[in-house]
Structure 1
Amino acid sequence: MNWLWAIIVGLVLGLIAKAILPGKQQIPLWLTIICGMIGALLGNWVASVLGVHHTKGIDWIRHLLQLAGAVLVVAIGDRVWAGVRGRRGART
């Protein structure tokens, strides 16, 4: 069940990150989910480094850090995807 939640969170964070980033991102949905999952992990790691602990209510700081991580990873993933796809198109 944890993998299902990771995929759902990755999808939601990835789609929000794509909406926040300016312009049109060229990465496919499956890569958006993976980037969102990686961004969530990155945000969790930063939250633990900063000493943000679980709270009884909604942990807004952790969620904002997860979103920031997803925005960063989606932006990097889009650049890498565009570079790889551009090079493949140039060879054919």
Structure 2
Amino acid sequence: MGIISWIILGLIAGALAKWLMPGDDGGGWIATILLGVVGAFVGGWVGSFIGLGPATGVNIGSLITATFGALIVLFVYNKFIR
């Protein structure tokens, strides 16, 4: 998956995660993209660990995996770092 695909997937997954988990998270578009890209890595790792598979491109399965990972990252950020 190319860098442009990771950015697009990260933007969508990060925005979905921030929309699904309400709260005052701050950050702009760059933070949302980074949240989504890190979430794609975390979601891919968790998905491959439990047998669902990693994020492999901009498709529905990868979007769900990346959003799940972004929710995990956002939860950890809100609970432990903030």
Alignment TM class, shorter chain as reference = 0.7 to 0.9
Pick closer, same or farther for the CA change 1:52–1:16 going to 2, 3 Å.
same
Q: Alignment length, in residue pairs?
A: 77
Percent of aligned pairs with the same amino acid: 30
Instruction: Quote the residue 2:41 is aligned against.
Output: 41
Pick closer, same or farther for the CA change 1:23–1:15 going to 2, 3 Å.
same
Report the structure number with the largest CA radius of gyration: 1
Pick closer, same or farther for the CA change 1:59–1:38 going to 2, 3 Å.
same
Structure 1 position 65 matched with structure 2 position 65: yes
SS of 1:24's partner is coil
TM-score (norm 2): 0.72
Instruction: Quote the residue 2:52 is aligned against.
Output: 52
Which one has the bigger helix percentage?
1
Displacement of 1:23 after TM fit? Answer: 2.3
SS of 1:44's partner is helix
SS of 1:27's partner is coil
Q: Is the 8 A contact 1:11 1:32 kept in 2?
A: yes
**Structure 2 runs not aligned, ≥5 long:** none
Structure 1 position 11 matched with structure 2 position 7: no
**Structure 1 runs not aligned, ≥5 long:** 84-92
CA RMSD in angstroms, aligned pairs only: 2.5
Pick closer, same or farther for the CA change 1:53–1:16 going to 2, 3 Å.
closer
TM-score (norm 1): 0.66
Displacement of 1:45 after TM fit? Answer: 1.1
Distance 1:8 1:59 in 2: 13
